[in-house]
Amino acid sequence: MDKVARAVLRHLFQEYLKASSVLYNIRPVTDLYKADAAEVSQFLLDKQWIRERWVHQSNSVTCRITVSGIEEINPAFIRTKLKQLIGALVHSGGQKSLMDIFDNHIQEYAIALDLVYQLDKLGFVHILHRDGEINVELTPYGYQYFEKNGKFLFALMSVAA
């Protein structure tokens, strides 16, 4: 199961990089491994590596990869995005618009939003909605944690899933 699961995650991650808000069919990948797409997707769902899973009458299965799923196959990608996100918050005094954090690169928005929601669940940031924008504010707990253990944050991301 591990081999097919990792292949599915790699596929979903590559598609996520193209369009992060789209659900992707995993059946072509599971068929290559002669595995049942619904069974593989249940395994991935139980691990919290995918979300928004739909099993269709045609036996296709569509879903999206989670931050934890990306971390499972490409932890460096998550670490880089976290550094960028937290670095922007720290350098701006603790609060900044999500779009400004990624210099208005819309292709970065979905991954940033996914990361911010996980950081919010952990209590490291607050999400503030103002004037049609999503602003992110580092909490005192977040400041304290990042000063002590910032480089180990990615290991905690799966806890918030």
Domain residue ranges of the chain, discontinuous segments joined by +: 2-70, 75-160
Considering only the top CATH level, what class is 2-70? mainly alpha
This prediction's pTM: 0.78
Nearest-5° Cα angle at 30, 24 to 36: 110
Does the pLDDT value for residue 89 go beyond 60?
yes
Q: Which fold has domain 75-160?
A: Arc Repressor Mutant, subunit A (1.10.10)
Task: Give the DSSP letter string of 89-155.
Answer: HHHTTSEEEHHHHTTT-GGGHHHHHHHHHHHHHHTSEEEEEETTEEEEEE-HHHHHHHHHHGGGHHH
Does the pLDDT value for residue 156 go beyond 70?
no
- Residue bearing tokens 């701006």: 92
Model pLDDT for residues 92-131, shown as the tens digit of each residue = 888 888 778 777 566 667 777 888 888 888 888 999 998 8
pLDDT (0 to 100) of residue 154: 44
Model pLDDT for residues 6-64, shown as the tens digit of each residue = 999 999 999 998 888 889 999 999 999 999 999 999 999 999 999 999 999 998 999 99
